[in-house]
Amino acid sequence: MERPPHNQHEPDPELPADDEARITRGIAEAMASSGLIDDATARRIAARLHGGQDTALCTLASSGALEDDLAIEIADATGALPMTYETWGDALLDYVHDRTRAHDRGPRQAWDLLTSDDPTEAAQAADNNQQQHRRALFERYVSLGINPEDAISAIEADDLLHADWPDAQSNAPPEGDTEQHPEN
């Protein structure tokens, strides 16, 4: 049986309360590292804010796909809410803009597993999505006329730059590292 959609101007009360803590932590980690929220945080925010099945936020929450009217819907969903939720909206908008710039708007494989309570499933889903993002970035570079070998080198260099960092997706340096880039 399908549950009725919640009020689009309030976070969905039927989702677990610990999601709010995870969202807050995901945003704090992104802000501390001057990076973007990760896929799991984006999915949690969209799930909390969507106003029903026929919405762009629901599409993001369920598949990871970015619909054309998503930015407007995020602004509408968070505009009348307390500041906490406006911060969620800002973080989600930054995430959407980053993926859109990389021409990475399609659905993500195993998107639903990103927020799994099984850490192995969540890690595998995050890895799959990172690979999909790399592929979209490669295709974007090539479409701009960059030599495929140079595109691969640029993507690999970025991967190596972040390989020693605890959360490569958040672009956060290791604890105690004040440099933006680890020394080679």
> pLDDT tens across 24-83, in order?
888 998 888 767 898 889 999 999 888 888 899 999 999 999 999 999 999 988 887 888
Q: Is residue 37 part of a domain?
A: yes
56 or 157: which carries more pLDDT confidence?
Answer: 56
Q: Is residue 105 part of a domain?
A: yes
Number of separate domains in the chain: 1
Q: Is residue 183 part of a domain?
A: no
8 or 105: which carries more pLDDT confidence?
Answer: 105
Q: Is-contact 23 31, C-beta < 8 A?
A: no
Q: Is residue 24 part of a domain?
A: yes
What value does the CA radius of gyration of the chain take, rounded to a whole number of Å? 17
Task: Write down the pLDDT at residue 9.
Answer: 45
For 83-100, what is the mean pLDDT? 89
Q: Is residue 83 part of a domain?
A: yes
Residue 128's domain comprises: 18-170
Burial of 7 (0-12, 13-18, 19+ CB in 10 A): exposed
Can you give the pTM of this predicted structure? 0.62
Alpha carbons 68 and 50: distance in angstroms, whole number:
15
Q: What is the mean pLDDT of the chain?
A: 75
